[in-house]
Amino acid sequence: MAQSTGDPTRLSVAEVSRAIAAGSLSPVALTEAYLDRITALDGELHSYVLVLRDEALAAARDAEREIGAGRSRGPLHGIPIGLKDIYKTRGIRTTAGSRVYLDHVPDEDAQSWVRLRDAGAILLGKQETHEFAIGGPDFTLPFPPARNPWNTEHYPAGSSSGTAAAVGAHLCAAGMGSDTGGSIRGPAAYCGIVGLKPTYGRVSRRGVFPLSYSLDHCGPLTRTVEDCALMMQALAGHDPQDPASADMPVPDYAAALAKRLDGVRVGVIRHWHERDAVAGFGADSAPSPTYVAAFDAGCRALESLGARLVDLQLSPLVDYADATRVILLAEAYALHERDFRERPHLFGRHMFARIGLGAFLSAADYVEAVRQRRELCVETARALAGVDVVVSASATGPAPRIDAVATYATFERASYTAPYNLTGLPALAIPIGFESGLPLAFQIAGKPFDETGVLRAGFAFEQASEFRLTQPPIAASLPGR
């Protein structure tokens, strides 16, 4: 296969896919380029907990032979990706970021990884996660927490922290995260990339360590919206062995992308960040002036693309947060109760302190939260009936320093992502600007199973802006960058 000039890790999944199909780029050369970057940079980023160099190169050689013989499996064939280390991989250590599973080698593969592998994706390695997808940046665990590629003194958010950092720093072409209260979209926002939480039931969760059965979602982290659509094409589909999986038709996600939004009705939820954040969580949750300006500019950009904007009013943000917290903690504690009782010393301090709160909840608390969830789902569905997609805030300021993230920060500050876990709606985090050299983002959410509408709006916005073209400093730190 002919080799292209330049650094292929600069290219998106869609771009390298076209280059591989044209014969101007080899999957082996691409995989080697990513492995070289991991070697050079991950000692500073800590985004990987396990790098599968030999296995990745063997898979790349297989992909090159298949593609060269005219047996391409599609746009992901030969594309190197990473998996958050809660995705089980047969014969490959999967730790969930915890001493409890430090030497755990599964005998099964997560179904979402099976779908990606069958589409031709190459696994570079397993990526750092907060302990059991909730533990926070804990420096007492065997694996150091991942760092933000825009400034390594800052937090990449979590719990899909390693995956977001690796995608942002070009240490993989794309990756898989999980999202229970915002763990795909939060890291995407802080790391300046794109993250999609699909509709509940759209992507199989079988073979992925659970946190909260009724709130967990699996989804992709990518550098562009188009890449997200390509990943979703392989990921989406019914899995009869996942009780929550929905048997719904899978559309052509990439075909739905367009650069205009003429006639698209966009609901804008402003009160969550303009009023509710401070009212429900205190002054520390107030958005920065720079964020408010970036959010408003993003909305104007959607309008300039032909969208019709409508202000939406929903219940206060704290109502969504309260129900989400109770459900998450109750379900998470039920999952881990035996280990909490029998070997509590194996847990990190953040994980133990956060999940331990679930021990103090009653059945009545849980039932009341589920009842409130149902009411909020009905209200949200009615509000969305008159629009195609909605826009709301994400993290309303730049990433904090990693050493300033408190144990209970995830519960004490406003969560703009949790409402879409509670309601199960698809939601996309996408960059909208910068503050102090760190990325800012907002969310585009949609109706159940309308990932196409969400991706279309995100793609049009992305194409009209230049935020995706800005590289984090670490991405330019190697010779020739």
Rg of the chain taking only CA atoms, in angstroms: 21
Asked about 24 being catalytic, the answer comes back as no
Contact status, residue 210 vs residue 336, Cβ threshold 8 Å? no
| Active-site residue (options: 4, 26, 84, 178) | 84
C-alpha–C-alpha distance, residues 78 and 452, integer Å: 25
Q: How many CB atoms lie within 10 A of CB 404?
A: 11
- Cα dist from 180 to 19, 137, 430, whole Å: 36, 17, 18
Helix (H, G, I), strand (E, B) or coil at 252: coil
| Active-site residue (options: 26, 161, 178, 183) | 183
C-alpha–C-alpha distance, residues 140 and 350, integer Å: 10
Q: How many CB atoms lie within 10 A of CB 356?
A: 16
C-alpha–C-alpha distance, residues 148 and 44, integer Å: 10
What residues contact 193, with CB distance under 8 A and at least 6 apart? 164, 167, 168, 221, 222, 223, 431
Strand-strand pairing, 48-51 and 80-84: unpaired
Asked about 259 being catalytic, the answer comes back as no
In angstroms, how far is the first alpha carbon of the chain from the final one?
24
Asked about 183 being catalytic, the answer comes back as yes
| Active-site residue (options: 159, 245, 394, 415) | 159
C-alpha–C-alpha distance, residues 168 and 155, integer Å: 13
Active site residues: 84, 159, 183
